Amino acid sequence: MFKIRLLITALALAGSISVASAWEALPTQAPAPADNETTPAKVALGQMLYHDPRLSSTGTVSCASCHNTMLGGEDNRANSMGVNGQTGGRSAPTVWNSAFNAVQFWDGRAASLEAQAAGPVTNPIEMGMKSWDDVVARLKEIEGYKTAFAEAFGGQDAISQDHATKAIAAYERTLITPNSPYDRYVKGDKSALTEQQVRGMNTMQSLGCVSCHSGPAFNGAGMFQRFPMFDNAYLAAQYHFKKDLGVAEVTKKEEDKHLWKVPTLRNIALTAPYFHNGAVKTLEAAVRVMGKTQLNKDLSDAEISDIVAFLNGLTGEFPKQTMPTLPGTPGKTFY
């Protein structure tokens, strides 16, 4: 949590970014940490683990259950469903382009994809395993995983929590959606965006939206922002925005109440419903809410229409996903 506080402080001191730095194309590759080089064997293993419901206590929930790589990288639900039909209080963030987040989860409590991958597996509402020791013991009973872990990490006893989370993170670093109409536009193809989308892009700039939603992923590169910034009793009652304290749920600090990691706008047209609690059903309504709660402005219908048109231009090209064949457990089951 010290890292979160340090990051919030540094960003506050830095102030708003320059608008010129906002219009950047998305990289086609994500940087990997020094201790987790992205290799084909790790990616293949990570894809299997990501899609394997046997990492859950009931054998019914995988990472992909809430972060669907066949669509927008989440589940289009206000609150994701975990083991035994339980639901949490937050909407699942998209996994697409998550490699470009400086921190993970809505409250930024994980500093890396590797750290994030460890959390849901043992969360009692999400995947429900009692401990990672139990997960490792289960994986060691699956012969095919012994081979896959050895190929990815070497050694005869390669199955571990550290290697499992590194493999999942390595796979997630391949989930990048470049070459959206916006990307082609900023690279020089001025026909890639429509006239209305360009108006929306300029409107976002003039309103100051890119002060937070900055950088190639439109996520502020790890920036935290207070939401709502301006109190509005009607919207707070309608959408229950203040029920969840955000970063303060983790740090227990008064000054962190209603601070949230700035989410990416990439592929946002595919990730309804919106906001941390999934309370807003449409993109048009989300833009209107943002205008009122973050800018204290009543955006016109024309402004909203133009911004939504531009946001639709942030839908990128999705790399083809071929579902892995999971290693079996012939003649037995865990349940």
Is 284 annotated in the active site?
A: no
* Residue tagged active-site, from 74, 114, 126, 303: 126
CA distance 326 to 47: 10
Q: Go through 168-192 and write b for each residue having 16 or more CB atoms within 10 A of its CB, e for each that does not.
A: bbbbbbbbbbbebbbbbbbeeeeeb
Burial tier of 301 (Cβ tally within 10 Å: 0-12, 13-18, 19+): exposed
Residue of 304, 256, 251 whose CA lies nearest to 280: 304
Q: Answer yes or no: are the C-beta atoms of 128 and 57 closer than 8 Å.
A: yes
| Tokens of residue 169, six digits | 């993170």
Burial tier of 157 (Cβ tally within 10 Å: 0-12, 13-18, 19+): exposed
Catalytic residue numbers read: 126
